Amino acid sequence: MIDSYGPWAVIAGGSEGVGAAFAHRLADAGLNLVLIARKPGPLAETAEAVRAKGVEVRTLELDLVSPDPLKKVREVTDGLDVGLLVFNAGANSYGHEFVTGDLDRFQDVIDLNITAQLAFTHHFGGLMKERGRGGILLVGSLAGYMGQPQISIYSAAKAFGRVFAEGLWLEMREHGVDVLELVLGVTRTPAMERAGLNMDIPGLNVAEPDDVAREGLEHLKDGPVWVAGGNYELARKRSGHPRDKLVAGTYKAMQELLPDPA
């Protein structure tokens, strides 16, 4: 992996959950890391753990909805030979009905899941195109396959991410740059737990962070989209028609999983 994607990897959202799992797996493969995250405690803990594996680690405490986050990222990464971008920062869903919600909060969802992702991909993807090799792994969600109440903007942003990855994959493959959107289902992460999702429903398919990180890296060359955690058939069904019956029926089936709005 270091020959194809090294010697440096940038992980946005690299402090806990799936991001931390990526950090450990990439450190095991010998890649140096730039870890970017909002929470200083988990960020420092993950950096210390992967640094102990013998790789160089730089950290940047940064909220990606702040103005021009790429400027601060470049202060840490300019001069490094970055061959892999993992954009895993996208947990902000702001659960609220759209017409009664706060537009500024919805804008934060868009800025994190779309605007920041585009800025990172544009910058690092351009460098990878010039060097003639590299990888871009964008972490997506099954939420992007279907509109849902309370998280309509988040679902729409994740749908954007998948379609964007498909077009980018076509553009970059002839330049030696692999592009993959890794679609996650229910995954046992701190962000999911903080959201209050009920992951103890009998029969619910719950993935572990290390398993989906492994899948993503193993299938980085199998773009443009890889659905992790055994959820391929579910993603296929959510892409079907007629949309009215499919959307309403799937939401009804999911209500047991969702936290109580109260």
Backbone angles phi, psi at 156, to 5 degrees: -65, -40
Which of 39, 158, 237, 252 is catalytic? The answer is 158
Yes or no: say if 213 and 20 are a contact pair by the CB < 8 Å rule: no
How distant is the alpha carbon of residue 30 from its chain centre?
22
What span, in angstroms and rounded, lies between the C-alpha atoms of 242 and 82? 44
Q: Would you call the peptide bond into 242 cis, given omega within 30 degrees of 0 as the criterion? A: yes
Q: What tokens were used for 100? A: 């009664």
Tokens of 73: 């990222």
Residue 36 · residue 166 · CB < 8 Å: no
**Is-catalytic flag, 252?**
no
Active site residue 53: no
| 148: Cα within 13 Å, side-chain hemisphere | 26
Q: Indicate which residue of 5, 39, 71, 154 is catalytic.
A: 154
The strand order across the sheet containing 177-184 reads: 57-61, 32-37, 8-12, 82-87, 134-141, 177-184, 225-227
What span, in angstroms and rounded, lies between the C-alpha atoms of 75 and 60? 10
Q: Which residues of 17-27 are buried (b: 16+ CB within 10 A; e: fewer)?
A: bbbbbbbbbbb
Catalytic residues, by residue number, are 154, 158
